[in-house]
Amino acid sequence: MGLLGGKQDVTHENSHEIQGVAKFAVEEISKQTNASLELVRVVEAHKQVVNGLLFELKLKVSGGSAESYKATVYQPPGGAKTLDKFEEV
């Protein structure tokens, strides 16, 4: 899993875990911006072990006014993911 509190660069942006978190983030951003965004690719990803997992993602998307977003997703142990924040980049 990783050292508690240590941020790790994710070298496999196409992994099942990262793609699932990225798709969740794009769905949530779409809801909050009233846009029909589609994930094009994960540009960059970091994972941090806290009381759960914290993912920081840079996402390339299509279907909206912005082409890229930075998103932070938190997943508590055994719990559902939440989109903590996002911004256009």
Average pLDDT of adjacent 10-residue blocks, the chain of 89 residues: 61 83 98 96 94 96 95 96 97
> What is the predicted pLDDT for the residue at 26?
98
> What is the predicted pLDDT for the residue at 6?
63
β-strand partners of 61: 39
> What is the predicted pLDDT for the residue at 15?
87
> What is the predicted pLDDT for the residue at 14?
74
CA dihedral of residues 10, 82, 62, 35 (deg, nearest 10): -170
Whether the CB-CB separation of 37 and 29 falls below 8 Å is answered with: yes
- The pTM of the full predicted model, rounded to 2 decimals, is 0.88
C-beta neighbour count of 71 within 10 angstroms: 22
CA dihedral of residues 30, 35, 38, 41 (deg, nearest 10): -70
Domains in the chain, start-ordered, CATH in brackets?
7-88 (3.10.450.10)
> What is the predicted pLDDT for the residue at 8?
62
